[in-house]
Amino acid sequence: MDNMILSSVVEWSRLQFALTAIFHWFFVPLTLGLSFMIAIMETIYVKTGNEFWKKTVKFWMSVFGINFAIGVATGLILEFEFGTNWSNYSWFVGDIFGAPLAIEGIFAFFMESTFIAIMFFGWNKISKKTHLMASWLTAFGANISALWILVANGWMQYPAGMVFNPDTSRNEMNNFWDVLFSPVAISKFFHTVTSAYVLSAIVVIGISAWFLLKGRDRLFSRKSIVVASVFGLTSTLALIWTGDSSAYQVAQTQPMKLAVSEGLYQGKPGAGVSVIGLLKSGHTYKDGEDAFVFNIEIPKLLSLMGYRSANAFVPGVKDLIEGGYEYVDKDGNKQIALSAEEKIKRGKVAIEALANYKKLKEEGNKEAMAESKIVLDENFKYFGYGFLNDTDSLIPNVPLCYYSFRVMVGLGFLFLLVFIVALWKMLKSKTEPKRWMLYSAIVTVPLAYIASQAGWVVAELGRQPWTIQDLLPTVAAVSRVDASSVMITFFLFLALFTILLIAELKIMFSQIRKGPNITVVDSSK
């Protein structure tokens, strides 16, 4: 009965956190990219002295400001949930996880908030160059803020720079630079922010296309599309590069996430990347047959991306659960993978050794304490597995991860085409784009948000059941609270966030309908 109640708390806490994260990410990516485009446009204004660009900047600043304000509100709630819903997690790794969040709040957010005030209210009060500097620093502040948040998230995906203290039963940071410069964290930061840049560029093009459809502010729209297309095209190329880096890091540190994202149940050498396929309903790794109804793939690409060798063996779900395959560890030594069952056994040994250590400490038996410490250290890498009882719980939702990954990548290449076509049309033709092209640009706006959310589905659902990879599962991280309390707050947050989203859209659409109101135009610029 207790396990059923605990499971309910875990599921409702996960739902509540996912709800908050989804709403938060509606607002953040637009601010990350739009801040840089604003700074670029203002740079053009300062260099040319053309009032057209100043009014263009002011319009896009209004869109930025609306999203920034609500993004801050939802972000604060998200951080509070670590204490209310995931108190065991906060206790277990708070010394490490709290550091980047504290730096984000003290330094990055402070920097961003300070200069955003100058950016919005400093017009005609300070020099053009000083105001431009404030705009650039706002953009960098927003992205530095994202850096620290993503360093924290990257640490959860791949814990580094820490040591476990059995006396306090907590993990403690022993190398800040290992946390900051973890290859997983750095890869995650660049991939996430470049995806945000792509989304923001799509939004600018979509809004500008609406103006062209209405026959309004044509010069404003065409210039905005040019800036957004160049920014978006550059960002998409960077996104492809960071995506390759992310795939490599996932293969090295989270092979189960890689396997479920590709629908790879049975590992093989020279594995290909599935371009598009249809998974069989209800298929499991135990079925011993092909998981796909049909599958179109690029041969050997998954092995090349994940292990930098076209013929490398890529473990599938079955291999990761049953073990027995050969792999090379981070020190370059060949190892035989343990089964999930064996990892669970060793995890329980680690948990028992910790309990014995604390008991022996109370008794003052230092010699026996040292022996328990040795057992704990030998098995600590499997500590998190000790909280699990079912090997199947280590398998994330394969269809959801597989299809979400295809949506993310497929739409990414669609956006690349949008940027190329939009830039070509604006630079090579004096005539307005066809109406169907403008409508298509508007439709890509919600698609950009879908692609962005799909990426987070893969990143977060793909690492389940872990809050911290291999170290702490969700079942052990959750607060000991009543499930009904979490359920009630879930629906309260759902109502609150829905109201905020509707209000944000209403305000933003109202601002868009007003338009940039540009009356002074130097057409030679």
* DSSP-assigned letters across all residues of 286-305: GG-S-SEEEEEEETTHHHHH
Q: Which two tokens stand for residue 308?
A: 């930098």
Task: Give the max Cα distance, the chain.
Answer: 86
Q: Residues 98-122: what's their mean pLDDT? A: 83
pLDDT score of 354 more than 90: yes
434: left (phi over 0), alpha (psi -120 to 50) or beta: beta
Find how far residue 141's CA is from the centre of its chain. 18
If you average pLDDT over residues 294-312, what whole number do you get? 93
- pLDDT tier for residue 453 given thresholds of 50, 70 and 90: very high
Amino acid making up residue 436: W
183 cis-preceded (ω within 30 degrees of 0): no
Separation between Cα atoms, residue 95 and residue 65, nearest integer Å: 33
Q: Which residues, 6 or more positions from 33, have their beta carbon under 8 angstroms from its beta carbon?
A: 196, 197, 198, 199, 200, 201, 231, 235
Task: Please tell me the predicted confidence (pLDDT) of residue 519.
Answer: 65
Q: Whose CA is closest to 38, among 21, 56, 12, 23?
A: 56
What does each C-alpha distance from 1 to 4, 5, 8, 348 come to in angstroms? Answer: 5, 6, 11, 22
Calculate the alpha carbon distances from 148 to 21, 24, 107, 153, 254 in Å: 16, 16, 10, 9, 21
Task: Average the pLDDT over each of 224-238, 413-427, 474-488 and give the range with the smallest value.
Answer: 474-488
* pLDDT at residue 277, rounded to an integer: 93
How many alpha carbons lie under 13 Å from residue 253 in its C-beta half-sphere? 25
Question: What is the rounded (10 degree) CA torsion for 315, 185, 140, 442?
Answer: 30
Backbone angles phi, psi at 332, to 5 degrees: 85, 10
Q: What is the mean pLDDT of residues 206-231?
A: 94
The answer to whether residue 524 scores a pLDDT higher than 50 is: no
Q: In whole angstroms, what is the distance from residue 71 CA to residue 88 CA?
A: 27
Residues 6+ apart with CB under 8 A from 193: 32, 143, 146, 150
To which H or E segment does residue 134 belong?
helix 128-157
Q: What angle do CA 336, 342, 345 make, to 5 degrees?
A: 145
Mean pLDDT for the chain?
A: 90
Confidence of residue 523 (pLDDT cuts 50, 70, 90): very low
What pLDDT does residue 47 have? Answer: 95
* Strand, coil or helix: 337: coil
Whether residue 23 contacts residue 76, with contact meaning beta carbons closer than 8 Å, is answered with: no
Query: Which pLDDT value is given to residue 3?
Result: 54
CA pseudo-torsion sign 462, 466, 467, 470: negative
Instruction: For residues 146 and 184, give the distance between their C-alpha atoms in angstroms, rounded to a whole number.
Output: 15
Question: Which residues in 166-176 are b (16+ Cβ under 10 Å) and which e?
Answer: beeeebebeee
> Is it the case that residue 113 has pLDDT exceeding 80?
no
**pLDDT category of residue 322 using cuts at 50, 70 and 90:** very high
Question: Is the pLDDT score of 499 beyond 60?
Answer: yes
**Residue in 15, 31, 60 with CA at minimum distance from that of residue 452:** 31
Contact 314, 267 (CB under 8 A): yes
Residue 323 pLDDT class (50, 70, 90 cuts): very high
- 316, with CB counted inside 10 A (0-12, 13-18, 19+), is buried
Pair of tokens at residue 55: 């009014």
d(CA 188, CA 153): 8
pLDDT of residue 1: 39
Contact (CB, 8 A) for 93 and 172: no
CA–CA dist 283, 276 (Å, integer): 17
Q: What distance lies between CA 265 and its chain's CA centroid?
A: 25
Overall average pLDDT of the 135-152 stretch: 91
Q: What integer pLDDT is reported at residue 7 of this predicted model?
A: 65
The percentage of the chain sitting over the pLDDT mark of 90, rounded to a whole number, equals 72
Show contacts of 298-301: CB within 8 Å, 24+ apart: 298/272, 298/273, 299/270, 299/272, 300/270, 300/271, 300/272, 301/272, 301/273
- Range with the lowest mean pLDDT among 108-117, 265-274, 370-379, 504-513? 108-117
219 has pLDDT over 70: yes
The proportion of the chain whose per-residue pLDDT surpasses 70, expressed as a percent, equals 97
Q: What is the DSSP letter of 271?
A: P
Residues 228-240: tens digit of each pLDDT: 999 999 999 999 9
Rounded to whole angstroms, the Cα distance separating 30 from 245 reads 23
Residue 520 has pLDDT above 70, yes or no: no
Report the distance separating Cα 412 and Cα 404, nearest Å: 12
Rounded to an integer, what distance in angstroms lies between the CA atom of residue 429 and that of residue 418? 16
At 45, is the secondary structure helix, strand, or coil?
A: helix
Over residues 44-65, mean pLDDT: 94
Using alpha carbons only, give the angle 298, 302, 306 rounded to the nearest 5 degrees. Answer: 160
Beta carbons of 438 and 218 less than 8 angstroms apart: no
pLDDT (0 to 100) of residue 2: 52
| Residues β-bridged to residue 163 | 172
Provide the β-strand partners of residue 276.
296
Which of the 8 DSSP states describes residue 460?
I
Tokens at 394, concatenated: 């280590």
Task: Give residue 397's identity as a one-letter amino acid code.
Answer: N
Task: Report whether pLDDT(521) > 70.
Answer: no
pLDDT tens column, 150-187: 999 999 999 999 999 999 989 999 999 999 999 999 99
The answer to whether residues 478 and 6 touch, using CB atoms and an 8 Å cutoff, is yes
